[in-house]
Structure 1
Amino acid sequence: MGPPGGVRTISQEAFDDLVKENIEELGMDPTEALQDAIETLSLQGVDLSGIVTCAPGEGGAKDNPVIQCLDGLKRLDSDFKIQIHDKEVHGELVALFDQLAHLCVEESGNAAIAMRNGGIELVCSFCSKIPVECDRVLLSCLKALTPMLYDIQSTETFKNSDGPRIIVGILKISKNFEILVNGFAAVAAAATGNEILKESFMELKIDELIMQTLSRQAEACIQSVYDAVRALLTADDNRVVASQVYGYARKFAKAGIAGALVDSLHEGITSPSLVSACIALKSIAVNDEICKYIAENGGIDALLRCIDDSGEQGNKSIARVSCSLLSKLAGSDANKNAIIEKGGFDRLIRLSSRFSEDPSVLQEVMSIISVLCLRSSDNAARAIEAGAGDLAMQSMQKFPLAQQLQRSSCLMIRNLVVRNAENRTLLLNNGVEKYIRKAKQNHESCRDAATDALRDLGLDDYNS
């Protein structure tokens, strides 16, 4: 990762000078001089990401393959306007971009070296100048850009290089499928963890562009589009107090993106992008109106089919994301009833039996049952009839070290009993108290949930 604000940095030249000084003035051998420089600077809080660290005699920064790639690109960049239609130059550019992309993907340290030595500015410069009809060159250029966008420092450099406008401009006019895939991959990488870039993309009407792309490419799922939706709508920049992603999600829904994502769910478990589509749709489902819209357009039916199919085929990734999205939709009371009337409890319990050895799936099942039972004694009764109580106790007994599962179990038990005295008596008679107390004792993260469950079971010593 790049240095956050306030962290000290050093130039490549200053680092090389320090190593040289250790050799000439302190009499160290090259390897010792290098190691001493690294340790000294690290102890001083200097960030060394992006610095080429090699002992004298091993080849300096100029011999580093990333630096050599960038030097080659800089040489071509200086005369690119003159050589813009030179096929030989195009071939050389493709080779350099492809090598840079390979180096940066192969090792994260290479991405830092490229970023520190002007790689982002250089690639953005090329992206702005390469004619859109030069598909092969532009595609290689985009592939080289994305792995360099990996932290706040790199995405800020991208912003300062006019990156958002350049990428959106390419996406607006290109009809090449691979360029769209890699262009949206760059959007997703740039927007991750950077609230300012999310805002920049929204100002450039990325929502309308995403909708146009989903409409044009309806038969070919572009996973990077789904990834871009998720990145743009996730509040993941700890530099800001209040993120704007809630408002962006509403804009996405208004633009028709929620409906397009629901359509992709109907392709079912055979779709290679189903997991990404579910995650993207969950990020849009931010209020009751949108959740109901998704349900009215067949979202609940599609997810229940995915839950059934994932259990039959043993696909735990689809099982988890389907339950997670269904849990979000169940936040609407109208949707709760629809899920239950369509056999939701029985289907969830059946899924849990098929993934009885996977706590990550079990905790998702219990999370959605908790939501379905919230503030409803009738729903809690139906959940118990379907086997939710047995699921909680068996899971807590089987996976005592799975903290999140233990917590999800406590939360579900609380919702099963808080408004239903019959469930309270049944679970206590079946010995649920010992499992909750064990979770409370063993896991700090379970303490509050376990205390609430014990209290709502009617136990006087719930705080002990």
Structure 2
Amino acid sequence: MKMATKRITQETFDAAVRENIEEFEMGPEEAVKEAVEQFESQGWLPALTSLAPTLYLPGPFRDICRAGYFKILEDLQESVACYYPQEVSAQLTRFCEQCKQHKACRFLAAQKGAYPILLAAWKLAAAGDQGLLLQALNALSALINGQPDLLDTQGLKLLVTTLDQHADAADLICSGIRCIRHACLKHEQNRQSLVKAGVLPLLTGAIVRHSRSADVVREASWALRIMTFDDDIRVPFGNAHDHAKLIVQENGGLKVLIEAAKAFPDNPSVLSELCSTLSHLTVRNEFCQEVVDLGGLGILVALLANCNNHQDLVKQVLSALRAIAGNDDVKDAIVRAGGTESIVAAMTRHLASPQVCEQSCAALCVLALRKPENSRIIVEGGGALAALEAMKAHPKEAGVQKQACMLIRNLVARSQAFSQLILDLGAEALIVQARVAHQDCEDVAKAALRDLGCHVELRELWTGQKGNLAP
């Protein structure tokens, strides 16, 4: 269960930064970074949505940032109050440019009351000026990036209303969805509020309506994925699983994503987003099967075979295959479709990438689980050798070492005939090395060694008898 996070005041944070500058002779940015890391290591959250590390930026940048924001915000507030749309437009553009210079600028702007001023500009633009509305959304998106607490109930409702009323305007939709994405990252309450307000059908609808717009499809897919996150440390648990179910069952999310993928066969960036979101939505056995029934498996295997040069896309496809392989029938379907050969080929081609190696081993590991015939195909296809080569290539990467150990264990758990073959490839030494180097590999390494028939010292930590536990 997650614990509520402790927070610190601006004064406490300021004092820590001053101490780093004055006593330890750190530069301003180093002093801020050190203070943040110090408080986080102690379980405190510096609450960057309310603190202003801008105060410690190098003098010229700090002064320009302060002076610029004070003037822009004053002018913007006055122009909105007097209803001067042209001036509002120019000031929103300047504000947006300032926000993009440095994240500290956004924090300072929030402290100086930028949000209610932007909200007023947004309401002014919503009366009918689409160009001004786009600028207001862009400015709001820049401001709340990294500080989603700023968005209040009124702002959330306006976002949903804007998406609903301007569903045909691709640029407005894209900017509005970007606001939603920034508002929901690491903010469970905003996610739940937006879902209750009906944002999910608007997101899936945007993908369908603007199926040829790479920007809209990318942003909407990303936003849908964030709705399934459980990344807000301030709440004990979130609604990630429920949101995934709603996206799939009530809004046809899987079909929407798979159909969208067909429209972008030559766009790795969009395909990466779609595959990543797909992997986050397949949280139930029937959802995994639905991906296959909708033709998604064929698309994933084809992408892995034909887009091998795009490393990030390969990683996301592997992640999606790993997710849908949670269904035992889908495991067999992936193998029949040539998935194991494509996975091994991807790992071999991108052996220098620890992320691809980890995802490849993880996908093969799931395919081999409780499936002796799949294990045979993987071993005969070079899967065990590729995993061991990955262990050699990335000895310091705990994720690679752990997934490779788990794969080796699954390959031999129900197929002992492969043990000697894998041992002859040098598996024992690599697994022992992983066990020594990474505490996270202790249990999986011992399980792999045990099932390979190697000697492993197993300690009986508890016998079920009353009394003190043996050390």
Q: What is the TM-score with the length of structure 2 in the denominator?
A: 0.83
2:335 aligned with 1:340: yes
Structure 2 counterpart of 1:180: 173
Letter of the structure 1 residue corresponding to residue 10 of structure 2: T
Cα pair distance change 1:10/1:278, threshold 3 Å: same
2:198 pairs, out of 205, 209, 214, with 205
Structure 1 counterpart of 2:52: 49
User: SS at 2:151's partner residue?
Assistant: helix
Structure 2 matches for 1:72-151, cutoff 5 A?
Answer: 72-79=75-82, 83=83, 89-131=84-126, 133-151=128-146
Structure 2 matches for 1:274-423, cutoff 5 A?
Answer: 274-311=271-308, 314-423=309-418
TM-superposed deviation, 1:196: 0.5
TM-superposed deviation, 1:446: 2.1
TM-superposed deviation, 1:253: 0.7
d(CA) in 1 for partners of 2:349 and 2:313?
13
Deviations 1:129-173 (Å, cap 9, x if unpaired)? 32363121111111111122234xx3222125x211011111111
* C-alpha RMSD of the superposition: 2.9
d(CA) in 2 for partners of 1:292 and 1:430?
36
d(CA) in 2 for partners of 1:350 and 1:58?
49
Letter of the structure 1 residue corresponding to residue 277 of structure 2: A
Cα pair distance change 1:140/1:414, threshold 3 Å: same
Unaligned runs of 5+ in 2: 19-24, 40-45, 460-471
Structure 2 counterpart of 1:24: none
Structure 2 counterpart of 1:261: 257
Moved over 3 A (4+): 42-48, 50-63
User: SS at 1:236's partner residue?
Assistant: coil
Cα pair distance change 1:240/1:63, threshold 3 Å: closer
The answer to whether the 8 A contact 1:121-1:158 is kept is no
1:69 pairs, out of 68, 72, 75, with 72
TM-superposed deviation, 1:10: 5.2
Structure 1 counterpart of 2:239: 244
d(CA) in 2 for partners of 1:55 and 1:368?
47
Q: How many residues align?
A: 426
d(CA) in 1 for partners of 2:55 and 2:64?
6
The answer to whether the 8 A contact 1:269-1:309 is kept is no
Cα pair distance change 1:458/1:268, threshold 3 Å: farther
d(CA) in 1 for partners of 2:60 and 2:428?
69
The answer to whether the 8 A contact 2:188-2:235 is kept is yes
Structure 2 counterpart of 1:447: 442
d(CA) in 2 for partners of 1:268 and 1:136?
28
The answer to whether the 8 A contact 2:54-2:105 is kept is no
Letter of the structure 1 residue corresponding to residue 287 of structure 2: I
Unaligned runs of 5+ in 1: 20-31, 84-88
Structure 1 counterpart of 2:156: 164
The answer to whether the 8 A contact 1:52-1:64 is kept is no
TM-superposed deviation, 1:52: 4.3
TM-superposed deviation, 1:63: 5.6
TM-superposed deviation, 1:378: 1.5
Identity %: 21
d(CA) in 2 for partners of 1:60 and 1:220?
40
Cα pair distance change 1:375/1:455, threshold 3 Å: same
User: SS at 1:400's partner residue?
Assistant: coil
d(CA) in 2 for partners of 1:59 and 1:235?
35
Structure 2 counterpart of 1:9: 10
d(CA) in 1 for partners of 2:236 and 2:57?
41
TM-superposed deviation, 1:57: 12
Letter of the structure 1 residue corresponding to residue 174 of structure 2: V
d(CA) in 1 for partners of 2:162 and 2:320?
32
d(CA) in 1 for partners of 2:419 and 2:243?
43
2:211 aligned with 1:215: no
